């Protein structure tokens, strides 16, 4: 039996950061960057209008202005703005040479077909300057960033369509207990529905992990041993619930010793989750969670999910706390 703080240290010190791979940026949701992402251009790449309005010279605002052209987004201005001239301009369009302000449409009125007059408060310039957001070569996303929808847009903006991200572990999940039945069944006397597996699977999914579910394994040692061996042969991480306490049918600790797994701790001075087990087998990881549903949830939250995120390149506890706060909003 060890302290919870020591247990956390053992779990997190056991992490080996996974190797990286290139993915299509639209498959990047929930992945963690393994590289810094740099901007390949100035953003914006030109001085552009922040408003629908008229581009002109600030010095001419009190005068009647001649409209010399209309500039739509994507168009290249053809006319230079001279004294007492302006161009009608749409949001996102290139500012024509000679203009230093964009007056909002709302602050103008037509004098005739080709002339306007400005009025109201025109103290804002309404121009987004070249490189205002970032410059060529600037880091726009740091290695270790957990990619969310807002980051996918940043990747698209800078043309990073094949980012390098950390690989995810393959995860196997099963629960133990001869008293368990699946949720779609009506329990007979002395049986209960299996909730722990679905709590585990939902928490994994909520943190962008996929897992293979191997069902309910009854309290039979040979069946449990077979299922454990199958899982650790085919997965990087095994998560089990039940059969880790001190009862006559809690076979998992003995099975792990028999197959040569290294049990790093079995039991913590903490409630709930006192009898949790953590082991390694070669380069595989094994979490044995107690059968109590609250214990399973708490230790998934405190140890298993942070371990998995760290193995995928999440840099710090603060980043993990950010992930969770995002979900609670």
- Res 249: pLDDT: 57
pLDDT at 247: 65
- What is the pLDDT at residue 246? 64
Q: Quote the pLDDT of residue 315.
A: 76
Supply the pLDDT for residue 307.
97
pLDDT on residue 320? 47
| Residue (of 139, 163, 137) closest to 28 by Cα position | 163
- Cis peptide bond N-terminal to 151, omega within 30: no
As given in the structure block, the two tokens for residue 262 are: 């290294």
Structure tokens at 31: 């992945």
The C-alpha atoms of residue 159 and residue 25 are separated, in whole angstroms, by 10
Which residue, chain included where needed, has tokens 């006397």?
189
pTM for the complete prediction? 0.82
HSE-CB for 42 with a 13 A CA cutoff: 10
Beta strands 108-112 and 85-89: pairing type? Answer: unpaired
> Tokens 């949830």 — which residue?
297
> Whole-angstrom Cα distance, residue 141 to residue 160?
11
- In the sheet with 115-118, reading across from the earlier edge strand, the strands are 101-104, 53-56, 85-89, 65-71, 115-118, 108-112
The token pair at 183 is 């949720």
CB atoms < 10 A from the CB of 296, how many?
27
Residue 273 is predicted with a pLDDT of 85
* Cα–chain center distance at 324: 10
Averaged pLDDT in 10-residue chunks for the chain of 329 residues = 95 95 96 97 97 97 97 96 98 98 97 95 96 96 94 97 97 93 89 94 95 93 94 96 74 93 94 92 95 94 96 69 47
């Amino acid at each position: 039996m060890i302290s919870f703080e020591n247990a956390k240290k053992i779990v997190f010190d056991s992490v080996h950061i996974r190797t990286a791979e290139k993915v299509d940026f639209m498959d990047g949701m929930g992945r963690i960057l393994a590289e810094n992402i740099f901007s390949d251009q100035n953003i914006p790449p030109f001085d552009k209008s922040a408003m629908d309005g008229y581009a002109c010279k600030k010095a001419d605002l009190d005068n009647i202005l001649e409209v010399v052209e209309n500039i739509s987004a994507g168009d290249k201005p053809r006319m230079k703005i001279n004294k007492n001239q302006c161009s009608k301009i749409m949001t996102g369009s290139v500012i024509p040479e000679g203009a230093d302000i964009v007056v909002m449409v709302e602050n103008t009125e037509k004098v005739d077909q080709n002339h306007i007059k400005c009025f109201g408060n025109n103290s804002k310039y309404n121009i987004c300057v070249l490189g205002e957001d970032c410059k060529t070569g600037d880091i726009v996303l740091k290695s270790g960033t957990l990619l969310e929808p807002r980051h996918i847009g940043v990747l698209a903006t800078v043309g990073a369509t094949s980012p390098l991200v950390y690989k995810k572990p393959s995860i196997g999940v099963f629960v133990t207990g001869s008293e368990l039945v699946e949720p779609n069944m009506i329990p007979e006397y002395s049986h209960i529905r299996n909730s722990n597996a679905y709590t585990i699977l939902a928490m994994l999914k909520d943190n962008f992990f996929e897992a293979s579910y191997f069902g309910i394994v009854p309290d039979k040692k040979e069946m449990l041993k077979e299922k454990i061996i199958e899982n650790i042969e085919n997965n990087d991480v095994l998560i089990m619930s039940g059969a880790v306490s001190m009862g006559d049918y809690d076979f998992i600790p003995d099975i792990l010793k028999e197959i040569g797994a290294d049990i790093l701790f079995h039991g913590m001075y903490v409630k709930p989750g006192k009898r949790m087990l953590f082991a390694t087998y070669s380069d595989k990881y094994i979490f044995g969670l107690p059968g109590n549903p609250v214990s399973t949830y708490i230790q998934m939250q405190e140890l298993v999910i942070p371990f998995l995120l760290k193995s995928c390149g999440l840099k710090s506890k603060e980043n993990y706390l950010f992930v969770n706060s995002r979900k609670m909003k």
